[in-house]
Chain A
């Protein structure tokens, strides 16, 4: 297990280095002068302003030197400062991270619960109207834009019924609707995956054995079938977490919530590149780490992986 862990950790290093190079190059792939691009739209720009930004970004140095300086600073937790607010980028990200994590975790809990329930019911009632209906719901789930679903939720539960507040921060009341909207397509994907896996597992010999030795149906499903059907679901959770982080960008805007996603959109629209770079880098590092953790837990569940 230790060997597998070390192996996986070593493999993650070049990926993270590559990510940092891509993020670093973002600024240099900009058409035209990045310093000018950042100042675009502001009035009364002097050549001193341009020089200041250039120096601030180190644009007067050769590219490899710039990269080494950049990575050195990043490793020391210095992600530069926002062009507009002049505050450290990392501080701005840290401020917003809590809200996004809260939203993503809530969405994931809702999505996985709904997905497993829908998928299991569907598989156990294969080819009945229950199955057709829940798979139809899942199909609508993956075809519906999450921001529209969010607007529908606001319209029904906040504007018409008045049960929940429309937008903003704080309390579970303001978390429920955005979490449902964000988790919608994830729960649809989970439901379809659980159904497919469960149908596959139920055909296996060990299920027949379990039934033959007289186990009750519930015990067969819970202890033998569902447990084995869950392994691929675990992997997809890791992959989907990335989509949840991405989806938060849209959902936070719909519900006017604080968070990394909203910060990213504002940063892109206001051409605040140090901030964009910081957000992209942090998100990628978090995503890679989470997938690493999932890989490791996967190996704990299934011994074939760590020795394979």
Chain B
């Protein structure tokens, strides 16, 4: 470690490297700008995040206030998206419902990306028994089909949106661990890693300075896809009564209630459903744009 710190590269090399990185970033942004889908996705997602942040200010009514004088009313000037079976304002519930959905998805991806990346880096770079052990553990987790692992975790932790998201986060860890490990294995073979080793750089320095930056792109791409997945799964778990709990406004939970009023009140199911789809769609569009921009070779895949 100390030797590596003493062996500073000459100043011109540092500047060249920063320039190269900047131009790589600039190129990526250039490519991203040309992708109309990604731009649209990015704009919609930004608006949704802003809506979530300023939700209490934007919502015209109290989302949990029940008004029995205006139960199941269709969209009107007073309630632009109608009211539900308790006379609650659907528009206000859709606006405030953005908060739990986005927060939950962010939490799940934070857990998955951080834990999965550390596991992937360690196992990919070190190899040996720790790699073998982790790979077998991941195999075991992947043996649980689909959302079943998340369901099992919710069964242990108990229903609730936070528990549901911890569950989703844990169930996404193998995806990151596998992908990062795969990337590390190929990056590790590069001459500059050998050079760093020869110069006496320690393991943690090599991993942090030379390997991590080179596997960041796939992590970013996987995270956008993961956010879309987490939003859909979070809404599904809430729909089943295993996530957010009444009377909190949450899109999946509101859809579960709307199911009983499908005939009488189409607006109750339409708008929370549209909100979920719009969020997932914008994240997916942005994610695909990012993937193409970061690695043009992957285009059309």
Q: Which residues of A are at the interface with B, using a C-beta cutoff of 8 A?
A: 14-16, 18-19, 22-23, 26, 29-31, 139-140, 142-148, 151-152, 154-155, 159, 196, 199, 241-247, 249-250, 253-254, 264-265, 267-269, 273, 276, 280, 283-284, 286-288
Q: Are A151 and B156 in contact (CB under 8 A)?
A: no
Does the CB pair B148–A280 fall under 8 Å?
A: yes
- Which B residues lie at the A interface, using CB under 8 A? 136-137, 139-141, 143-148, 151-152, 154-157, 159, 228, 232, 235-236, 239-242, 252, 255, 258-259, 262-263, 266, 269, 272-273, 276-277, 280-281, 284-285, 300-301
Contact in complex: B136, A284 (CB < 8 Å): no
Residues of A within 8 A of B266 (CB): 155
Whether the pair A245, B146 counts as a contact (CB closer than 8 A) is yes
Are A287 and B144 touching (Cβ within 8 A)? Answer: yes
Give the CA-CA distance A30 to B263 in the complex, in Å: 41
- Chain A hits for B145, CB < 8 A: 241-243, 245-246, 283-284, 286-287
Name A155's contact: one of B139, B241, B262 (CB within 8 Å): B262
Instruction: Tell me, in angstroms, the Cα distance from A30 to B144 when the chains sit together.
Output: 19
Complex contact B140–A29 (CB within 8 A): no
Q: A151 with B255: in contact, given A26-B152, A143-B284, A250-B240 (CB under 8 Å)?
A: yes
Q: Do B228 and A143 touch (CB < 8 A)? A: yes
Q: Do B151 and A268 touch across chains, with their CB atoms under 8 A apart?
A: yes
Closest 10 CB pairs of A and B: A246-B146, A242-B145, A18-B140, A148-B273, A143-B281, A246-B147, A143-B280, A287-B145, A243-B146, A268-B155
Contact A288 B143 (CB under 8 A): yes
How far does the Cβ of A104 sit from chain B's closest Cβ, in whole Å?
10
**Cβ contact within 8 Å between B258 and A140:** no
Chain A residues with CB under 8 Å of B139's CB are 15, 18
Q: A143 vs B280: C-alpha distance in the bound complex, in angstroms? A: 5
A108 → chain B closest CB, angstroms: 13
Q: Which residue of B lies closest to A195 (CB)?
A: B300
Q: Which of B152, B252, B272, B277 has the most CB of A within 10 A?
A: B152
Which of A16, A145, A276, A288 has a CB less than 8 Å from the CB of B276?
Answer: A145
Q: When the two chains form their complex, are residues A143 and B143 in contact, meaning their CB atoms are under 8 A apart?
A: no
Chain A residues in 8 Å Cβ range of B262 = 151, 154-155, 159
User: How far apart are the CA atoms of A102 and B289 in the complex, in Å?
Assistant: 38
On chain A, the residues within 8 Å of B141 by CB distance are 22
